[in-house]
Structure 1
Amino acid sequence: MAHVPTEVRRQQFIDAAIVVIARDGVDGATTRRIAQEASAPLATLHYCFQTKENLLWAVFEYLAEMVGSDLEERVPRGQSTASIAVQILTETLLSAIDRPAANRAQLEIWLWAERNDPEAGVRLYDMYVELWRDRLRAAKSPLPDDEIESVARVLLGLVDGLNNQFIASADEKLLRREIDTASAMLEAYLGRRSRRSA
């Protein structure tokens, strides 16, 4: 059997974990099942990650980085706060449609962390707050930091709520309509907030 470089193997395990977690949940995603999905030896998975928890953290970080890359590519800096907030909401939820396994795996990992290690659950959640806060700071006329923090957290609440509804209904048309409604609400509030600051 040909040698597979460690970084390639790590990514194979992350990709396999996404599939297995989306299908079986975190508790059902044993390291043995993940190794089988990756067509790799179980011992190699343990060599790469040592523990299942390390693998879960790597999966979540990978998925958050994927969302961050999408935003970097699709949400230009220097726009209004309202425009950036709407694009964050839209792009994040459209990725839930485009990547259903990744979307479900991320939710499963967060829920698992919240039940088993609440501090880790907060750290996972804060990854998104930080990612979106940084993007909102790149607005043409950014809001004060405390307001950016609030907007980032409200955005996360909107995304979580709409995402959970989408997972439950699997109705893409409904999600797109809800994205439009939530976007109009953000534009109305942030547009008014920007005019008051000017």
Structure 2
Amino acid sequence: MEENETILLRAPEELVGLIKEGETVYFEELFTRFLPLVKKMNAKYYLRFMEQDDFWQEARIVLHKAVVAYDPEKGLQFSGFFKLMLEHHVYSLIRKETALKRKIDKGAVSLDQLMENEAGSHANRAINGSTMHQVSPEDVVQVRESATGYFDGLSRFEQDVFRLYLLGKEFPMIAEELDCEMTQIKNAFDRCKQKMKRLLN
């Protein structure tokens, strides 16, 4: 108990020094010390594609880099140094997401176009497998009337996957653009198909 109390009283700079000496057991203590800052950053900056656990993992990576790069002789406290590095990393993530959002928005396709051009045929083939199927005028009207409800029924991630697919992009390219696993893309697209089928039935 006394040893734990002593650890909790150590300054961040001391913990950093111990970690640099190979006492990596103190890394979790250091991260716990800065957890309130990490939570505050997570709440302050909205990252569309990142869950809390993912954000914390990013913060751990930044903390490790901060420990390696920290030089106490430059006169900056470690807390301020880590905060600057974490903010810079978060801004980089935001810029990445903003660029991705612009790319997706630029290529957004309306459901009217979906049913009236090649994108409509592309999506329809996906829904019906390899069997070619001509979309009837009644289907077009039904989808137009339900367009808002359909997209509202998709998660943000599903919307992004669906729109990129409508642009003719294959799953590997979508996975690369959204920076995620191909399994996530396939699962999201399967959910889109099921929701579209329910809409047309």
TM-score where L is the length of structure 2: 0.32
Larger Rg: 2
Larger RCO of the pair (alpha carbons < 8 Å, separation 6+):
1
Higher helix fraction (1 or 2)? 1
TM-score (norm 1): 0.33
